[in-house]
Amino acid sequence: MTVHKVPDVTMKLGTVLDATLTEGRHRHFVNEWRGFQLLSDFDAFERRAPHCHLYLVRGRIGAQPKRAPSASKLDHAEDGYHRWHKRDAARLGELDTAAAKYLQGRMTRIGYSSDKWARRGRTTNYDHDFLEDDGTAPLVYTNARTLGASTTIVVVGGSMLITAAGIA
């Protein structure tokens, strides 16, 4: 069984609005994840498909990590946050997350809100279609058997990339 975990150091990209998943011939529109944190790896800008990840997690970033991550990872996360938002991170911390072991299908699109390139808190809504430009949709793993009960979602693979311009 494949199990994915949210790493100890991530960077916040924005907040989830909704998503569309496909499983076989079935399409699921998911709005239960609205307000979840949209995170990626501390080194997301260096990763290439199919090694990019998105983490959709319910909760707020805590003030202090439970264990001290390496300075190198924190520096990478700070640099990545700056590349995405064009400003320094207001705070670093962690979220309590559960292992995501239930394969739910593929994510074909995600709607998210981000204050990248704007004053902190002034958000713009974005919609990314993973199938555009002949892309391959990433796989979706959750910590619960049902989409609505899930609090940790890991989106991995496909042709997804994280760039300074957004999710590609």
Spans of all domains in the chain: 10-167
Residues 77 and 10: their CA atoms lie apart, in Å, by: 6
Q: What is the band of 1 on the pLDDT scale with cuts at 50, 70, 90?
A: confident
Give the model's pLDDT for residue 123.
Answer: 93
Can you give the pLDDT at residue 20? Answer: 98
Compute the radius of gyration of the chain from its Cα atoms: 15
Query: Would you state the pLDDT for residue 45?
Result: 85
pLDDT digits (tens, 9 = 90+) for 113-142: 998 888 888 999 999 999 999 999 999 999
Would you list the DSSP string of the chain? ---B---S-EEEEEEEEEEEEEETTEEEEE-TTTT-EEEEETTGGG--TTS-EEEEESS---SS-SS---HHHHHHHHHHHHHHHSS--S---------B-EEEEEEEEEEEEE-TTSSTT--EEEEEETTGGG--PPEEEESSSSTTT-SEEEEE-TT--EETTEE-
CA distance 133 to 131: 6
CB 65 within 8 A of CB 79: no
The predicted-structure confidence for 140-160, as pLDDT tens digits, reads as follows 999 999 999 999 999 999 999
- Which pLDDT tens digit goes with each residue over 21-79? 999 999 999 999 999 999 998 888 888 888 899 999 998 766 555 566 677 777 777 88
Give the CA distances from residue 88 to residues 30, 34, 40, in Å, rounded to whole numbers and listed in that order: 31, 25, 16
